[in-house]
């Protein structure tokens, strides 16, 4: 079974991707990269292209709705030689993205999706894939037109977040549509949506998908990449400390590669994800709620590292 870390804006930077691949993710994604911002010369946007040595395979996800901008983004991402695929985001439901004509605005426009994929393909020799949704709302399924658009354009894979755009990120996951997609598709299908435990994993596997993508379940517990594969996960303390090291490595690389840009200093760069993301490592340990409160006050890497003493020494997550 192939497990994939979903593209997650503000989370799937190189540090978290490296943790996920070490724990068992077979493929990871960058967060979505704005083709328009790249085309307008945004150097900060290029920070999202940064990878770390030792990362597993990474796909680069781009978003936009202008063929020439997406083609440029694909060209730039490919030229770095760091990625294994270029993925087009046709599913982000956030208003600021959709209202700009990007992300889920593409779900009802299979013809445009086709043209965008063709433009991307022209600029890269990497496999090109599509991540999308079944349709704008349950009364309008565009999934099979999107599949046709992707296959005609020469896509090498198709990821379905099996919730309609109208559902945003919640509610029922339409496994029936996913199963039908698997039947009809000539390319590998990755299933996504709501997988967080053995039961939801099995239900999605039963649709016949080639791979399963974890989104929020990976944020709250990346150990799932191990346990879902039947392996014991390493101690959380170790993973937590490695995550800090990788964040510092990433900060150093960004500061060196983009000397003219604002890159937060190491303490700030590493402690901000503690409040947003790394606090999940402490879930379930005695006094976790109090810890969470204390984390909001932590401003240095040293204080972050000191927290590791709180993990039980033999804390391994069983499969
Ligand atoms: C915080 C957050 C950020 C996300 N960012 C992206 C993104 O950059 N690109 C994308 O295709 N989907 C993005 N998504 C959607 C996820 O990739 C995934 O499709 C969704 O969370 C459903 O999977 P899940 O139920 O396993 O979380 C994001 C979701 C969340 C919660």
The answer as to whether 315 is a domain residue is no
Residues 85 and 102 in one domain: yes
Q: Do 165 and 96 share a structural domain?
A: yes
Q: Which atom of ligand 1 lies closest to the CA of 89?
A: 11
Confidence of residue 317 (pLDDT cuts 50, 70, 90): low
306 Cα–ligand 1 center, Å: 31
- 317 in a domain, yes or no? no
User: Position of tokens 């936009």?
Assistant: 64
Q: Whose CA is nearest to atom 18 of ligand 1?
A: 215
Q: Which atom of ligand 1 is nearest to the CA of 192?
A: 23
Instruction: With H, G, I as helix, E, B as strand and everything else as coil, classify residue 65.
Output: coil
Same domain, 163 and 195: yes
Measured from the Cβ of residue 314, the count of other Cβ atoms closer than 10 Å reads 7
User: How remote is the CA of residue 5 from the centroid of ligand 1, in Å?
Assistant: 10
- Compute the distance from residue 193 Cα to the ligand 1 centre, in Å: 9
Residues in the chain: 319
Pair 263, 289 in one domain: yes
- CATH code, domain carrying 139: 3.20.20.70
Can you give the pLDDT at residue 118?
98
Quote the CA–CA distance of 187 and 306 in Å, as a whole number.
Answer: 48
129 and 273 both lie in a single domain: no
Please tell me the predicted confidence (pLDDT) of residue 171.
96
Characterise 194 by phi-psi region: left (phi > 0), alpha (psi -120 to 50), beta (else).
Answer: left
Token reading at 72: 């440029």
Two tokens at 289? Answer: 């709620």
Q: Which residue minimizes the CA distance to atom 13 of ligand 1?
A: 8
Task: Give the bridge partners for 102, in sequence order.
Answer: none
Tokens standing for residue 81: 């030689």
Would residue 92 show up in a list of annotated catalytic residues for this protein? yes
- 156 and 273 share one domain: no
Average pLDDT of the residues in 285-313: 90
pLDDT of residue 3: 98
Please compute the mean of the pLDDT values over residues 132-151 and round it to a whole number. Answer: 98
Closest-CA residue, ligand 1 atom 2, reads: 8
In the prediction, which pLDDT does 287 show? 85
Rounded to two decimals, the pTM is 0.97
**85-90 and 128-132 beta bridge pairing:** parallel
Identify whether 15 is part of a domain.
yes
CB atoms within 10 A of CB 101: 14
Same domain, 272 and 244: yes
Q: What is the rounded average pLDDT of the residues 190-217? A: 98
Domain boundary among the residues 209, 227, 245 is at 227
Q: Please say which residue of 227, 258, 277 terminates a domain.
A: 227
Please indicate, yes or no, if residue 316 is contained in any of the structural domains.
Answer: no
Phi/psi class of residue 44: alpha, beta or left (left: φ > 0; alpha: ψ in -120 to 50)? alpha
DSSP 216-285: HHHHH-TTHHHHTTT-PBPPHHHHHHHHHHHHHHHHHHHHHH-TTS----HHHHHHHHHHHTGGGGGTTS
For ligand 1, the distance from its centroid to the CA atom of residue 309, given in whole angstroms, is 32
> Does residue 29 sit in the same domain as residue 92?
yes
| 206 domain-assigned | yes
- pLDDT of 96 reads 97
Higher pLDDT, 287 or 68: 68
Asked, for residue 119, whether it belongs to a domain, the answer is: yes
Around Cβ 197, how many Cβ atoms within 10 Å? 12
Other C-beta atoms closer than 10 Å to the C-beta of 287 total 11
- Greatest alpha-carbon span in the chain: 56
Nearest residue (CA) to ligand 1, atom 6: 8
Residue 21 lies in a domain: yes
Q: CA–CA separation, 177 vs 189, rounded Å? A: 12
| Pair 104, 136: CB distance under 8 Å | yes
Ligand 1 center to 8 CA (angstroms): 5
Query: Which of 5, 7, 30, 106 should be mutated for ligand 1, with most atoms under 8 A from CB?
Result: 7
Give the model's pLDDT for residue 291. Answer: 85
How many domains, the chain?
Answer: 2
149 and 249 part of one domain? no
What pLDDT digit, counting tens, does each position of 36-51 carry?
999 999 999 999 999 9
157 and 189 housed in the same domain:
yes
Q: Find the mean pLDDT for residues 1-22.
A: 98
Given 177, 207, 227, which residue is the final one in a domain?
227
**Whose CA is closest to atom 28 on ligand 1?**
8
319 inside domain: no
Tokens standing for residue 150: 């992707």
Residue of 60, 92, 155, 316 marked active site: 92
| Domain coverage including residue 111 | 2-227
Pocket of ligand 1 (CB under 6 A): 6-9, 31-32, 61, 89, 91-92, 131, 161, 169, 192-195, 214-217
* Inter-helix orientation angle 143-153/175-184, to 10°: 30
Question: Based on the domain organization, do 298 and 154 belong to the same domain?
Answer: no
Judgement on whether residues 281 and 183 belong to the same structural domain of the protein: no
């Amino acid at each position: 079974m192939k497990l994939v870390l979903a593209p997650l804006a503000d989370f799937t930077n190189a540090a978290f991707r490296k943790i996920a691949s070490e724990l068992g993710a077979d493929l990871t994604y960058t967060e979505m990269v704005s083709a328009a911002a790249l085309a307008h010369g945004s150097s900060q946007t290029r920070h999202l292209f940064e990878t770390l040595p030792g990362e597993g395979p990474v796909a680069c996800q781009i978003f936009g709705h202008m063929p020439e901008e997406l083609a440029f983004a694909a060209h730039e991402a490919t030229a770095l030689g760091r990625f294994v695929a270029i993925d087009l985001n046709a599913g982000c439901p956030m208003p600021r993205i959709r209202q700009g004509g990007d992300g889920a605005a593409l779900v009802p426009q299979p013809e445009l999706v086709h043209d965008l994929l063709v433009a991307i393909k022209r600029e890269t020799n990497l496999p090109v894939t599509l991540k999308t949704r079944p349709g704008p709302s349950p009364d309008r399924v565009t999934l099979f037109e999107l599949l046709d658009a992707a296959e005609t354009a020469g896509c090498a894979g198709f990821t379905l977040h099996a919730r309609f755009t109208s559902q945003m990120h919640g509610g029922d996951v339409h496994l029936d549509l996913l199963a039908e997609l698997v039947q009809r598709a000539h390319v590998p299908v990755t299933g996504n949506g709501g997988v967080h435990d053995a039961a939801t994993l099995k239900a999605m596997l039963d649709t016949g998908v080639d791979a399963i993508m974890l989104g929020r379940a990976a944020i709250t517990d990346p150990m799932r990449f191990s346990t879902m594969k039947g392996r014991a996960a390493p101690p959380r303390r170790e993973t937590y400390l490695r995550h800090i090291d990788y964040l510092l490595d990433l900060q150093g690389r960004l500061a060196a590669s983009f000397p003219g840009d604002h890159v937060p200093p190491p303490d700030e760069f590493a402690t901000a994800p503690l409040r947003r993301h790394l606090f999940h490592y402490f879930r379930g340990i005695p006094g976790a709620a109090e810890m969470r409160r204390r984390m909001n006050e932590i401003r240095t890497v040293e204080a972050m590292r000191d927290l590791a003493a709180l993990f039980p020494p033999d804390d391994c997550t069983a499969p």
